[in-house]
Structure 1
């Protein structure tokens, strides 16, 4: 049977593909260290689990409003008021089946055929695919390493055309871990205001910041920017709830209304039990969030130095999220490969270390390592990578 054209150009998620290959090797009995998955290695906090159990025991397992439970919307609004001093109405909030679904639904309702969306590189793997599924056109702007992988106002302005509909900003970034400063956001925001470009602000890693950095949402910088911004967020990373699939979008009421209408014909509603769990996540203690953040920061400080000591790997220190994104082009050349993808494949096959090639993020010379796993496993992985590089260097 012939498939629809809209899926003919899609590529599978690189991160999920690598994770699946690593699991396959592990199931076959190999000692694989997987540094590909973008999810915390902590279990969901106990009080959130208890809330889900309570919801099940009380029979709260039925349909909910398509846009999410009113009680959950209230908690999201309260969270945004407390954290970013932003004020929203329930009509400006939609709860979705994960932040990924929120993004997908957003692009479906704002894009017509050939509308352009500016995507800074390196980018999260699903951004361009979701834009293409909405018949939009991804327009890539390179965030250069010398600028901490961030784009500049002049780059943004040069990329805008009469077809530009939106800009995606991901801060803290997946895969680089970099964050935009308040000044940088202000300057990029002004370009968007000048050219009537919607800002899609993906803030899913906002709670995972290091070295004293604080999260700034572009929406909080001015009323004008708030009106031009759709915030995307969720509890997957902040509360270790990746499998619960709860995310949300906040912003312009007409856009949120359209997203809610679309959701009513696709998912009906996010899972009821997961919504009640998320109410507990936001209304309860945030101590576990900070414990997890501190653990990630400790791991980062230890393995960052060790990775940079491996010949051929050069990395700038991330400010947030839980990824290292080193330039490995020199390492690939030293190992005799034409590209970094070949090096990643060899490390998985020969040393049983699963990394994600930067090609999936629009940055061919890089690799992504997730440090959302135990320090013991991380140190073993770094040792294996170093061992491999020493071996190939000697052999050559």
Structure 2
């Protein structure tokens, strides 16, 4: 096997989800709170656009980086969101945010280049950096409510620093970065000459009083150092359709086009036409409905989790996740004298409570636990009550 395959591992979510599915297949009552998606029907406009494309026999290649009309529509969307003008040749449509991030890594990194990644982190970030020959440099944020301090980022910069990954709202922590933090990161990038890979895939779901800010709207002077990554997996509940984009300088988009030419070619043509139809319809009713659902799920979840005794309530400022700090358990030894760790707790919650969660070790955090609230409200309430009861019994 090629050496690079040893660099890629199935992440922590995979094993627990597999165990949960196997339990469900055996007739066990398992509630899955691991997913990075929203359980929802399709947006009517997306469905109509897809059906029209199928009825129109649209089954041929598009441009490698997507339909020109779709890129124009995305340029209008980005122009409104960032208060900066965008053109179609600054945008590449991709097969979801993961391909956009992978393209960014391959386009920017040479062997030995370093990428700053605040921890806890989505596990795909460092994995793709490593595959591209780079070195992830983790910057701890747990001591600052999961927002990296600018002094810590600055201390991690070396002559090999090529980029920083900024993910807000954050997966897994649900943290939303404020304007001052984003402005400070942009200034560091300008002063020290590195790129910002700005992943705002969960930007549609931010809870008051917090606001999501595009880093470009905060720091337009850093535009030539910024790559914006987004997808419609969350905002339109389209995870399986694999449709996203990367936006940035024309030279980077040109490199992305060359990469996609020899990897996936164009994104799925039906998904492209469906999205174009949706963007042109101007109907935001579905997005607003989805946002209300996620807001209701958050309120329900926070109410239930407030009964936890050894765990502080999660911030859940944005995104789809409750992130629990289990350090209170880690300070208490088990019956055999060993300390709890999040892997043990995730395993026990699956076995004893029938609730599948993701251990923080998957995100570089030895004391965290991630719970998704993108699921059905009834199942969410049932699962969180089981989890709360189980954790409080261990107290």
- TM-score where L is the length of structure 2: 0.95
1:335 Cα deviation from its structure 2 partner: 7.8
**1:181-204, CA deviations, whole angstroms, 9 ceiling, x for partnerless residues?**
112211111111100010000010
1:92 counterpart residue number:
90
d(CA) in 2 for partners of 1:96, 1:176: 25
1:201 counterpart residue number:
198
1:221 counterpart residue number:
218
**1:324-375, CA deviations, whole angstroms, 9 ceiling, x for partnerless residues?**
0011232356582531110100111121100000111111101000001122
Count, aligned residues = 390
d(CA) in 2 for partners of 1:318, 1:391: 24
1:238 counterpart residue number:
235
1:286 counterpart residue number:
284
d(CA) in 2 for partners of 1:7, 1:349: 31
Gaps of 5+ in 1: none
1:139 counterpart residue number:
137
- TM-score where L is the length of structure 1: 0.95
Which of 244, 248, 258 pairs up with 1:247?
Answer: 244
Gaps of 5+ in 2: none
8 Å CA contact 1:122–1:363 kept in 2: the answer is yes
d(CA) in 2 for partners of 1:46, 1:334: 51
* SS at 1:139 equivalent: strand
1:390 Cα deviation from its structure 2 partner: 4.3
2:58 counterpart residue number:
60
Does 2:177 align with 1:180? yes
d(CA) in 1 for partners of 2:391, 2:88: 54
2:356 counterpart residue number:
354
**Inter-CA distance 351–225: structure 2 relative to 1 (3 Å threshold):** same
8 Å CA contact 1:118–1:166 kept in 2: the answer is yes
**Inter-CA distance 332–267: structure 2 relative to 1 (3 Å threshold):** same
d(CA) in 1 for partners of 2:136, 2:357: 25
* SS at 1:157 equivalent: helix
8 Å CA contact 1:335–1:389 kept in 2: the answer is no
8 Å CA contact 2:333–2:340 kept in 1: the answer is no
218-227 vs 52-61, which moves further: 218-227
**1:177-234, CA deviations, whole angstroms, 9 ceiling, x for partnerless residues?**
1111112211111111100010000010111011143321111234321111000001
2:23 counterpart residue number:
25
d(CA) in 2 for partners of 1:323, 1:17: 19
* SS at 2:166 equivalent: strand
**1:133-160, CA deviations, whole angstroms, 9 ceiling, x for partnerless residues?**
0010000001124x22011211111111
* SS at 2:7 equivalent: coil
1:272 counterpart residue number:
269
8 Å CA contact 1:333–1:339 kept in 2: the answer is no
1:25 Cα deviation from its structure 2 partner: 1.6
2:147 counterpart residue number:
150
8 Å CA contact 1:115–1:164 kept in 2: the answer is yes
8 Å CA contact 1:312–1:334 kept in 2: the answer is no
Which of 36, 39, 48 pairs up with 1:38?
Answer: 36
**1:47-103, CA deviations, whole angstroms, 9 ceiling, x for partnerless residues?**
201110110110111111101110110111111112222212221110111100110
**1:93-133, CA deviations, whole angstroms, 9 ceiling, x for partnerless residues?**
10111100110111011111111000001111100100000
* SS at 2:136 equivalent: strand
* SS at 1:8 equivalent: helix
User: What CA RMSD, in Å, does the superposition of the two structures yield over aligned residues?
Assistant: 1.5
8 Å CA contact 1:218–1:226 kept in 2: the answer is no
* SS at 1:40 equivalent: coil
1:11 counterpart residue number:
9
